[in-house]
Amino acid sequence: MILGVNLHSKLVLLFIILAVAVGLIILFNVDVGLQETLSISESSRSIARFDSSQGFWPALAGITDSVGLRKTLLSLPTAIIYSVGGTSDLTTQLIPIMATLANVLLVSTLASILYGKKAGWLSGFLFMTLPATLFTATAFPFTQPAVSFGLGLLLIYSLNGRSEVKWKWLRVLIMLLLVIVLVVLDLLLAVCLLSMIFALQFFEKENKLPAWLLLVTLIVGLVVGTGAAIGSVFVAFYDSLVQLPEMEVLLPIIFIVLILVLWQPSANNHLPLALLGVSFAGLLWRYSAAGGTGLIGDPLFLMLLLALALLMSELFSSKHTEGQNRKASIWMPIAFVAIAWLAVRGQELFIPSFVGFDWVSLQSLIPALSILPGPVFLLFVAYALFLAEKNTKLARTFSVLLPILFAVALIPYTWQRWHANQPSIWAVNLAKDIITESGATLPVYVVDDERVVRQLEYLSNDAPPSPVTLVTLDSLQRELNLGGGYILYWEDAIQNPPSSWWQMGNFGALGQPRLVVDRALDESEASLILEEASATPPNSKEDFENKVGTAINAGKPCLAVSIWIESQRAGVGTQDYFPLFDFPSESCIDLSESENRLAGQEPMLYPGHNRIQYLGGERDLQEGAVISPKYPFFDDPRIFHLETSLDANSIYAYHVELRGAENLMPLYWRIGDDENYLDYGLYRSWTALTVLFSTYGWDEKPLSVTLLPYMYYVTYYGGTAELRDLRLFEVKLDSQTE
């Protein structure tokens, strides 16, 4: 017996739930790279390096002075973990991950206490499948811990009525401790929960009129007291709440569940209902005070959803038979994690990651899962209308089917949030690696993104091999004049980088601005290095890359092109494309007698692009064509594509001129499984862009190539883009000049 609840029979079940929760956390881990986590990691690292030689208190006071008492307290646990296990992603994320797992258990326990064991696992399952749970499990340091302490408080409170529970003084003491920690973690959450517990005392009494009067007085007081200004705040808050992507699914379900529960409320529903109400009020308060930022990372938001999970678990589990419930407790979590894995990772086994014309033109399985929100809503309505009271057999089936459908319908929203963050975080890791591999001999300049600077500091445990500086576009040139450096910027931050910057690599997800790592050197110094390098013929990939880079840095792009082509011929495995931004490629490459392989080609509209209205007057991609307007269709950046074939062991130049009112991703190509595009940027005026790519190393037979002259998303209906002079031609290797 622990806290009056017999957990023994649930051990296997708990193991499954926890294993599934761990699996989901791994699957949707966004990695360490968001501002909040980096900030806490930074202070934890400084505490972990605690230097007590100057005296314990002065040293502690020094830390507290720099980051504040609250942050010091919050950073202490991570600091202790760092001291023991060192700085790593696992040690940084250990606390939120453990808290998430604890929360799954705590929610299950709370539901067991309130509604019986049938509801326990189900509420834990529903809680762990919520997009907000899975995101905050790794993205925010304190959301889940705050919820843990809040849940602990609720759990002890909910044991109040149980006569078998002894040691009441101990409960009071634990509650007190939980409240103290909660005050540090999130004062508003502590206030909300304590107010709720206080208010619930009224509802427990025989005469509930005072409780209702209190509630009505509170609402009326709020309206009158704020001079009705609460309305404007509410409208703004409600607008921001309903705009959270997952609300498409959650909001109608919240209403349905609330209406059903309120129709015949039981005493056990008081706590979840009060929790839902108080969380909403707390969020509203925080919104009005803080201006509506960070809803998703707010513990109160998670509390609100947690209350929904509790209510739903009661709604469905009450219809389950014992056997049905037991079976579902095993297959449902396993089925869910399998579907989630398939949708996020497993699909790559049979659907190419980006351009997939192969299987019903799906970019991923996510659209298939996106069919669910509507039917789930309808099934909930149907369940509420017909099944809850009639046809017991059908009601039982639906009570098992609906939770899993509900959870699966939320996968696209979980994926969406993960996908919006993880690739950009991972990109910084890769950027750091490439700089380290190149020797890290120059200072690193990060353009306009403090988060990247913090992440680089985190990755190097505050001892970066070369100094990292945050710069603006204005100050960058001044810094580079001091002798060059590595420049890290997101693709959309710099248009047409100078031709003397060598692009060492770009990292991130296709379809999003990628993180570019460039190197700039003082031109004279670069010439000297080049001279030295030219003394010995290059042999390895590194030799070639270094020579190409130095030639670019020395302002000799044509030489760089020749070296790169030579490296391709030698088959040493250098990068198989060469971006050309800010210099006339014609001066290096003879195009006079080359045949344009795209001349006269009819562009094929991307299937599903059903609102394209105008694709150039003559659909002539050489003379000029306009796409206007583009319909924001399923967030897919593809519009049209061309197919052609290329010979192996050649170098091709792929060229376009374009302009548009939206960020464009120009010059996409796909050869076999290899796909890429040149850039991600806003080209307001006509801009010529060229990329060279190599087919060396491919089979001798002609290769089929898919080309998209550009791709773009639209932020509003009607975004336009134009192109002209689209060309793809084989580069005559004899004509290379230095």
Partner 1 sequence: MFKKRPIVQLLKEWSPLTVILAVALVLRLIFFTGMVRGDALNYAHAAYYLSRGVFDLNAWEGMSRLGMFIPVAILYRLFGPGDFVTLLYPMISSLASIVFVYLIAKMFGGEGAGLIAAFIWAFLPLDIHLSTTLLPDGPMAALCTASVYFWYKAEAGKRGFFYFVSVGLLAMAILVKPLAIVVAVFFAVVLILRNWRQVRDSWARKFSVPDGSKKYLWIGVAGLIAGAFFYLQIQTRPFLVTFSRTDNDLGAFLFTGAAQLDFGDLVFSRSDLMIFVAPLFLASVLMLFRLRRGETKSVLVWAAVFFLYYEWGTISLNLLEYRPLQAFNEARYFLFMLAPLVILTGIYLAQGLSDRLVRLIVPVIALFTIAVGIVDKEILYSGGWASWTATSSFLLVIGSITSPILIAEKNEKVRNGFTVLLLLVLSLALLQPFLPYHALMYQGRLDKLNAYRLTLPFWNEYKDYPICATDPMSLNYASNFKLGFDWQGKSLLGSSPRIIDSLPEEESCYVLTTQGQTSVPENWWLMRDFTSVRQTLFVYRVLSETDAGRELSNSREALNQEGTIENLERFYGASVNASSWNDIFPAWIKLHNLKPANYPLDHLEFLVTAYLEEARPFLGENLFQNSDFSQDLTIWNYPDPERLTLQGNGGVTVRVRDKTVGGLSQEVILEPNRIYLFTMKVATSLEMVVDILGIDQGNVPDSSFQAVTADNPTYVTAVFVTPNWGSPKSVHIELFVPFGTGQVRLQEPALYAITDLTK
Q: What is the binding site for partner 1 (CB under 8 A)?
A: 219, 223, 227-232, 234-235, 238-239, 242-243, 247-249, 251-252, 255-256, 258-260, 262-263, 265, 360-362, 367-368, 370-375, 377-378, 381, 384-385, 389, 472, 474-475, 478, 607-608, 610-611, 631-634, 684, 716-718
CB of 412 to partner 1, least distance (A): 9
Nearer to partner 1, 165 or 260 (CB): 260
Give which of 322, 500, 337, 468 is closest to 408, Cα–Cα.
337
Q: What are the residues facing 471 on neighbouring strands?
A: 447
CB of 406 closer than 8 Å to CB of 339:
no
CB of 492 to partner 1, least distance (A): 14
Nearer to partner 1, 111 or 376 (CB): 376
Nearer to partner 1, 83 or 720 (CB): 720
Nearer to partner 1, 161 or 718 (CB): 718
CB of 634 to partner 1, least distance (A): 5
CB of 530 closer than 8 Å to CB of 483:
no
Nearer to partner 1, 321 or 472 (CB): 472
SS (H, E, C) 376-430: HHHHHHHHHHHHCCCCHHHHHHHHHHHHHHHHHHCHHHHHHHHHHHHHHHHHHHH
Give which of 541, 528, 438, 529 is closest to 485, Cα–Cα.
438
Q: How far apart are CA 612 and CA 627, in angstroms?
A: 7
Torsional class of 640: left (φ above 0), alpha (ψ -120 to 50), beta (otherwise) = beta
Q: What are the residues facing 643 on neighbouring strands?
A: 706
Nearer to partner 1, 99 or 476 (CB): 476
Nearer to partner 1, 20 or 409 (CB): 409
CB of 610 to partner 1, least distance (A): 7
DSSP helix/strand/coil, 704: strand
CB of 204 to partner 1, least distance (A): 17
CB of 689 closer than 8 Å to CB of 655:
yes
CB of 478 to partner 1, least distance (A): 8
Whole-number CA gyration radius for the chain: 30
Nearer to partner 1, 392 or 587 (CB): 392
Nearer to partner 1, 252 or 498 (CB): 252
Q: How many CB atoms lie within 10 A of CB 160?
A: 13
CB of 195 to partner 1, least distance (A): 18
CB of 392 closer than 8 Å to CB of 366:
no
Query: Looking at residue 661, what DSSP letter applies?
Result: S
CB of 366 to partner 1, least distance (A): 9
Nearer to partner 1, 73 or 368 (CB): 368
Alpha-helical regions (H) of 509-660? 523-534, 541-553, 557-570
Q: How far apart are CA 26 and CA 306, in angstroms?
A: 21
Q: How far apart are CA 656 and CA 637, in angstroms?
A: 18
CB of 724 closer than 8 Å to CB of 697:
no
CB of 251 to partner 1, least distance (A): 5
CB of 530 to partner 1, least distance (A): 32
CB of 704 to partner 1, least distance (A): 20
Nearer to partner 1, 541 or 609 (CB): 609
Q: What are the residues facing 719 on neighbouring strands?
A: 630
CB of 118 to partner 1, least distance (A): 23
Per-residue tokens: 557: 């792009």
* Beta-sheet pairing, 681-682 with 640-646: unpaired
Q: How far apart are CA 284 and CA 557, in angstroms?
A: 58
Q: How far apart are CA 146 and CA 183, in angstroms?
A: 9
Q: Which residue type is seen at 317? A: S
CB of 206 to partner 1, least distance (A): 16
Q: How far apart are CA 568 and CA 534, in angstroms?
A: 18
Nearer to partner 1, 25 or 249 (CB): 249
Q: How far apart are CA 210 and CA 199, in angstroms?
A: 10
Nearer to partner 1, 29 or 663 (CB): 663
